[in-house]
Amino acid sequence: MNKEKHILLCVTGGIAVFKAAALTSKLIQQGYKVKVVMTDSAREFVTPLTFQALSRDHVYMDTFIEPNPEKIAHIDIADWADLVVIAPATANIIGKLANGIADDMVTTTLLATTAPVMIAPAMNVHMYDHPAVKRNMETLRTFGYHYIEPNEGYLACGYEGKGRMAEPEDILAMIDHHFIRKENKRWHGKNVLVTAGPTQEEIDPVRFFSNRSSGKMGYAIAEMAAARGAHVTLVSGPSSLSAPHGVNLVSVRSAEEMYKTVHSHFDQMDVIIKAAAVADYRPKSFHTNKMKKTEGDLSVEMERTDDILKTLGEKKKNQVLVGFAAESENIEENAKKKIKSKNLDMIAANSINNEGSGFQGDTNELTLFFADGKEIEISLTTKKLAASQLLDAIVPLLEGK
């Protein structure tokens, strides 16, 4: 999809220009077509040659330089864009744009485009808080412009506070979401709960039982659902992954904590996708002090944890309930049994023995089994693309509800 999308990146003068270079590289890697327009001030920080090499395209700098006599450059690229991103956006460019000033290549192009515009501000914390800047930003909001909120932290000027341009990864996520959301209106406003990762069942203050789940599949599902416009709550066991953009992350540790958290959110949800690898058993007793090594073997008595998916199936009303089954044998038989025993609408099953579809990897292959007997195969692909295909398969279930 990205290969058909045109991003016009307007780069203005601030120390965060180096982040704009990184963003250009990431956009190209994701398959977007990118054209870059730079102000004179931006060129004081990074040369146009850098952006030319990264975008693999001409860099536009001067309204009065027309490389193609058959076209007016600033009109041509304004019409070419599917989305315009101003990153970094200084107080100066925000003020000019809010007041209709067109005195260079960037501003003339911005006034000429009819494409959606995203603005990633970057400036000193006091500049960001100045009444004039606030007024100009609000004016642009009324024009329909969208902001990529700056981060708080250490600024190049030495101050600490809000004003750091958003990271390239976050801007890329917002760009992805912009296009994905437009093409997936059925998900807009839906409340989706996703579980992810392992659980840890403690035996003493330093030891616990767990499994190999990384959480990557669940996090990918949450990210893709949020990109489609859903309100996503991600209930995650311990994981090294960062919360996906636009997702409400609720961190838990044990199966019991996950059980309570999921049930507390269940009634408000339209879709529940339980991708977490929850422990089936936990130590029956917890030792408040560290267990000391002794001679001979050690036995730990285990007890069953509550079956989260089964109890959700028992209380399900109009929700779409989706489970996961990571199996080493009899995949189809076990998956179909779980559909009936847990009252699921769909289950995504995979073999942990197949190369590329086990725990901790970046790829997966799934077979989707439905309560009505239908099956869909998702061939080996990235977990993000597998997540997208899984969400596509859920849409008819939403329609049915």
Residue 255 CB partners (closer than 8 Å, separation 6+): 199, 201, 278, 279, 282, 305, 306, 308
- Give Cα 266 distance to the centre of its chain: 22
Per the structure block, which two tokens stand in for 395?
């849409």
Pairwise CA distance, residues 331 & 182, whole Å: 36
Pairwise CA distance, residues 293 & 386, whole Å: 45
10 Å Cβ neighbour count for 79? 14
10 Å Cβ neighbour count for 362? 12
Question: If we measure between CA atoms, which residue out of 276, 258, 288 comes closest to residue 214?
Answer: 276
Query: Which residues does residue 198 pair with via DSSP β-bridges, in sequence order?
Result: 277
10 Å Cβ neighbour count for 400? 10
Pairwise CA distance, residues 314 & 310, whole Å: 6
Sign of CA dihedral 207, 213, 216, 218: negative
Annotation says 157 is catalytic = yes
Containing 348, the helix (H) or strand (E) segment is strand 346-351
Catalytic residue among 1, 157, 206, 291: 157
Residue 338 CB partners (closer than 8 Å, separation 6+): 309, 323, 325, 344, 347
How far apart, in Å, are the Cα atoms of 214 and each of 127, 161, 352?
42, 33, 13
Give the catalytic positions in this structure.
157
